[in-house]
Structure formats: structure tokens, C-alpha cells
Amino acid sequence: MTTPENAPRAPSTFVLELILGALTAFGPLSIDMYLPALPNIGVDLHASTSAVQLTLATFFVGLALGQFGVGPLIDHFGRTKPLYAGLALYVAGSAGCALAPNVEALSAFRFVQAIGGAVAIVVPRAVVRDLQSGVGAARMMSRLVLVMGVAPILAPLLGGALLSAFGWRSIFWTLAAAGLGALAIVFFTLPETAPPRHGRTAQPPPFGELLRDPSFVGHALTGGMLQAAMFAYIAGSSFVFITLHHVPAEHFGWFFGANAAGLILNSQINRRLLSRFSPSQLLQWAVRGALLMAVVVWVIAFTGWGQLWGMAGALFLFMSTLGFNTPNSTALALENHGKRAGVASAILGSLQFTIAALASWAVSATHNGTAVPMASVILVATVLGWAALKFASSRGKPRAEDKPSSASRHREKAA
């Protein structure tokens, strides 16, 4: 069964996926958009490079903590009301960043911004699980990845343009305006999708029950480890391409954008393949491909074989495999937890973002002037992701392996 019984009516599938994908993009948009402005922020606020970089670390911490804390709220109060509050908090935090008189205030408001943005990340996954399960959920997540994946491509370009034209504070005013626009859109178009609650007594969050489910833990760790490998690439790619291989800084965006485009393309191929294969099958094949390409990336980094284009090609193929990761691992992790989709989505996001942040730190901590640290973290994270998937597969198969029903295929075509 792809759509649970008594699922609430919602906007057309395309419109809903567009709204949810845009909400999910607030995280990467808030990270990538202000990266070109970091040196200017340090000069303007008379802050050291490390102090300015702390504003990014503060945002990571806020996202991880915010996702963990918002889960019980959206299961108790529904999806829409916490989302309104989260977007309002995001707008306030963004405006505070734009007005920050010093780097300490900027870090504090980045934390507030991240807490609000965390709600926008958790709620879409819960809404997907409210409306779909199994193959349908994986298809819907594939479309979200398409919308969300545009952010890493466009955000640095938009941020650089705003920086040149209006200064770094305009970046945060733009983010505040985006949050305000999103708040208006979800208020008028997004219905409440949470299943009805019976009784008013608040139940304690079922963290223990979720963590005892091998399918949830295994697939959450699979998604988290492969996302950590992606963050290792993000953390080390500018050094590898610009410093080691002498790619002009203004051309770096082409390499970064090409890899993001490969990931987006495969997320849509995944959507098509789900009519013939289960999410579990596609995820297993993709993780094996990612593991193979991670080994190739490490060998090229260690030997120097192929120079720039060898490394660029290997990273492109590795990143492309990740287009199958998020839709399928998320759908499989949430498959058995429709009644607690909020808490499950929150734990999933918090766990994955914490692992990804640790991977970014590991690349910086092991920096030795070569591409080996980046490649090593990518390889280790991918191996751990493969092991987590083996654990999930060996401890029971989730229902998401079922092929889509004729009714679900009809709904998909109609959408």
C-alpha cells in the first residue's frame, strides 16, 4: 500500500512537492549563500577568520539540535502550526544577522536562524510520510531532492551577486524575505496532514522504540554516512580544485555545479526506476556504486593519477550515485513509523546532520596539503554507510520493498 487510508486531501502532487522541496532547501541555502561573504564579514566586523567560521559551526549546531527538538512538537501539535512558528523564527534570526553589530551577535542570530530552519527541514519529511509510504514516499522524496538540489548550485552565485551589489548584509535580508514568502505560501496552501490524535494526553517521545528498530537505525545511518561523505567533499573540494589543481576561483562553481547536477539528475532517474525496482534494491545498488567510486577517488588522491580531470571525473561519478541515497534511505527509515513520523524525521535529520558536521571537521582536522584527507573521509564514511545498509538488510526487510500497486501508478501518472 502506497497511500495510507484516510490520507488528508492536499494540493496537486507537483505543487505540494514544490512547496516541500523549497522548505527543505532552506538549510543548504542558508549555508551556501553567505559563503562568498565570509572574508568581507571578518573585515566589516573586525573579526578573525576563526571567529567568522564559528558562525557556520553555530548554524550546524542549531540545525542538529533544532531537528532533534522539533520532532515531538510536530507529532503533538501537528505539522502546520510548528512550521509557522519555525519560519517566523527563521525570519527573525535572518533579520538579526543582517543587523548584527559584531561577530558574537552574528553567531547568536545564526543559531536562532538555524533553529527556525530546522523546522522547515523536518516537517516536509513528516508530511511525505503522512501522505505516502513505500515506493510512493521514495518517489516524492526524489522530487524534493530535485528542488532542494538546485540550492547548492544557485546559492553561491546569488550570494556573490548580492555581495558585490549591496554588501553582505543584503544576503541575510534576502533570506529573511524568502522565509517571509515561504510563511505566506504554506499558510494559504499547505493543509494539516498529521494523523488525528486520540485523546489529549501527551505521550513521551518514542526515542527508545525508534532506536530499537534495526530498519530505522540502519537506513538512517546509511543516509547519514553517505551525506557525511558529501559534506567531506564540500569541505575539501575548494582546496583540492583551486589550490592543488589551480582551477581559477571564478571557475570553481562550474565543477561544484556539475557535481550537484549529477546528483539531481540521478534523483530523477531514481524516480523513474521506482516503477520497476524497490527502494531497497535501488539503494543497495547505489551504495555499492558509491563504494566503488570512493575507492577510485582515494586512489587518485593518493597517487595523483589523472590529475585534475581524473579527480573531477571520479568525484562527479561518486556524487552522482548520491542521487539515489536520500530518497530511498529516508523512505525506508520512515516506512514503519507513520504514526510518529515527526519524531522519526527529527531523529533522522539530527543524526545525519551531526554525522555530516563531524565529517567536515575531520577533513579540516587532518589537513596535510593534499587531497588524501578529503578522499579518506569520503571512503571511510562510504564504507560505514555500506555496513549500516548490510545491518538493516540482515535484520529484516521493510514493507517499502513492495512493488507499487496499480492504483498508486495511476495516481502517479495523474499527478
pLDDT tens profile 351-396: 877 887 788 778 877 878 889 999 999 999 999 999 999 998 876 5
**Residue 393 within a domain:** yes
3-state secondary structure the chain: CCCCCCCCCCCCHHHHHHHHHHHHCHHHHHHHCCHHHHHHHHHHCCCCHHHHHHHHHHHHHHHHHHHHHHHHHHHHHCCHHHHHHHHHHHHHHHHHHHHCCCHHHHHHHHHHHHHHHHHHHHHHHHHHHHHCCHHHHHHHHHHHHHHHHHHHHHHHHHHHHHHHHHCCHHHHHHHHHHHHHHHHHHHHHCCCCCCCCCCCCCCCCCHHHHHCCHHHHHHHHHHHHHHHHHHHHHHHHHHHHHHHCCCCHHHHHHHHHHHHHHHHHHHHHHHHHCCCCCHHHHHHHHHHHHHHHHHHHHHHHHHCCCHHHHHHHHHHHHHHHHHHHHHHHHHHHHCCCHHHHHHHHHHHHHHHHHHHHHHHHHHHHCCCCCCHHHHHHHHHHHHHHHHHHHHHHHCCCCHHHCCCCHHHHHHHHHC
| Domain co-membership, 104 together with 220 | no
| Domain co-membership, 268 together with 372 | yes
| Domain co-membership, 118 together with 240 | no
| Domain co-membership, 186 together with 253 | no
Instruction: Specify the CATH number for the domain of residue 336.
Output: 1.20.1250.20
Mean pLDDT of 320-330: 87
| Domain co-membership, 185 together with 317 | no
- pTM for this prediction: 0.69
**Residue 351 within a domain:** yes
| Domain co-membership, 333 together with 232 | yes
Q: What is the mean pLDDT of the chain?
A: 81
Residue where one domain finishes, among candidates 193, 224, 249: 193
For the chain, the domain total comes to 2
pLDDT tens digit sequence for 13-66: 777 878 888 888 888 788 878 877 877 888 899 988 668 867 877 887 888 888
Q: What is the pLDDT of residue 47?
A: 87
| Domain co-membership, 132 together with 250 | no
| Domain co-membership, 133 together with 234 | no
**Residue 2 within a domain:** no
The parent domain of residue 282 ranges over 208-415
**Residue 169 within a domain:** yes
| Domain co-membership, 237 together with 360 | yes
pLDDT tens digit sequence for 271-314: 889 889 888 999 999 999 999 999 999 999 999 888 899 999 99
| Domain co-membership, 291 together with 351 | yes
pLDDT band at 6 (very low <50, low <70, confident <90, very high): very low
